[in-house]
Amino acid sequence: MVLAHAGVASRRRAAQLIENGKVRVNGLPVTDKGFRLDPAKHEILVSGRPLSGEEKKYHFLFYKPKGVISTVSDTHGRKKVTDFFRDINARLYPVGRLDKDTTGILIVTNDGKLTHRLAHPSFETEKEYAVTVEPFITGSDIRKIERGIRIDGKLTSPCRVKLERKSGKAGVYRIKLHEGRKRQVRRMFEACGARVVQLKRTGYAGLTLKGLKEGEFRELTRKEIERLRELGA
């Protein structure tokens, strides 16, 4: 949905805005959620504000702490990723999601085109995780994960898994994959009888957490942004 990609709101909230007549296209209200919006062809106003324009684009690398949710709004008063960016005068949103108990890399931006490129499955953006599980799993289970685990009736794509170390009954693994299905890493290990006790995304599209502590963020460099825009080109 164009409104969601532009960072106006979540998909659900964007649908509500349309239903409530808050979205105008070329001066006329639109209430059909299936209406095809095209910022290149239409003048789109949301609550009286233009969707398109020369809004400054921000691109941040954020180290998400545990307990923080990856949404732009929440009715339960939980701490959100966007709460860390209140001093930035822009409608920011995270690219993709990490579940509440997962820490690590998130890109936070208001660049809809870049968001689409990074989040769309066809571009196969690589993600790297450090996973601690109990009990540690055997080589045959590792190969099973690497070949693909059936989740919701569909096999996961091939990935790479490496055992970093063992600590008592626990094992620490490094896993690289290109998919981003809901709770995918946790569910792959659970399918092999192991419970994930800690999960951290350490890499995203070649970016790392170097120099950041939990809750900190930095702006991406021009070179990093250009490289991200070239992914899948």
- Which residues are tagged catalytic? 99
Of 162, 158, 136, the C-alpha closest to 149 is 158
Of 32, 45, 53, 37, the C-alpha closest to 1 is 37
Of 97, 61, 56, the C-alpha closest to 221 is 61
Residue 191 φ/ψ, nearest 5 degrees: -65, -20
- CA 220, CA 233: separation in Å to the nearest integer? 20
Q: Where are the alpha helices (DSSP H) in 89-199?
A: 112-119, 139-147, 184-190
Strands 49-50 and 207-208 turn out to be: unpaired
